[in-house]
Amino acid sequence: MNIQNYLAEVPLLHSWDGGTTWNTGGFTARDLEELYDFCLGNLPPGPSILETGAGNSTICFLLRLPSRVVSIAPEAELFERIRSYCRSAGIPTAPLEAHIDTSEWTLPQIASELKGQPPCFDFVLIDGCHNWPLVFVDFFYGNYMLKTGGYLMIDDTQLHSVKELARMMVEQPDFQLEKVIGKSLIFRRITDARTLGEWNSIPYILRKTNEYERSGDPFRL
C-alpha cells in the first residue's frame, strides 16, 4: 500500500462511545498526509520514532518504513486493530513496539535503559494523556530521548495543558518551530540540551513569573 491509497480511506480505529460509532481519531487525512510528507522530507532513512498514544499516526509512521516505532497506549484492542489493518494492507509491522500501558509508567523504564547512552529517537509525538502533569511528563522523557536535531511534535494544542507546553517551547531557545499541522506543532531541537534548566532559565516561565510578581497578588493569574 502507498500513502495515497491509505489516505483515500483512513481506517476507523477509535470509538468514544463504547463501540456505537467509530472514527479515525484526532488526525484528518490531510493532517496525516502532511505528517507523512514532513517525515519523508526531514527524517533519515529508517528513522526511530516514539509516540505516546496510538492510532492512525502509528500507521502513518509505519508507512515511512522506520527501523523502530515505539508506541505507548493502554488499549490492547487498539493495537490489535492497527495490526489487523496493516496486515490487510500489506504494511510491515515488524518495527512496531507496542507498550500496552500508560506513558507515565512506560517512559521512565525506556529512559532508564538509555541512561548513559546517547539519545536514540529521530521523532517524538506527544499525543497520549493530555491532563496535568502528564503532558509535561511525556515532554520531559521525550526530550531526554530525542536526538539533537530531531523533531518533537505535540498534538491537541487547543487543550489548555498542551497549550501551556506549546507556549513554553515557542520561547525556549533549545527549540525551533518547524511546522504547524492542524492542531499540532512540530519543533526541532536545535541544541543538545536533553533537559531544561531551572525555572529562571526558561524564558516563558521567567516572563510569566515576573508578571505575577508585579500583580502583588500570588493568586491572581
What pLDDT is stored for residue 215 in this prediction?
Answer: 82
Mean pLDDT of the chain: 96
pLDDT confidence tier of residue 216, bands split at 50, 70 and 90: confident
Residues 89-121: tens digit of each pLDDT: 999 999 999 999 999 999 999 999 988 899 999
End-to-end CA distance of the chain: 51
- Report residue 12 CA to chain centroid gap: 20
Give per-residue burial for 54-86: e unless 16+ CB within 10 Å, then b: bbbbbbbbbbbebebbbbbbbeeebbebbbebb
Annotated domain spans of the chain? 3-215
Instruction: List the CATH code of the domain at 3-215.
Output: 3.40.50.150
The interaxial angle of helices 203-215 and 160-171, nearest 10 deg, is 110
Q: Is the pLDDT of residue 218 over 90?
A: no
**Whole-prediction pTM value?**
0.96
Tens of pLDDT, residue by residue over 81-96, are 999 999 999 999 999 9
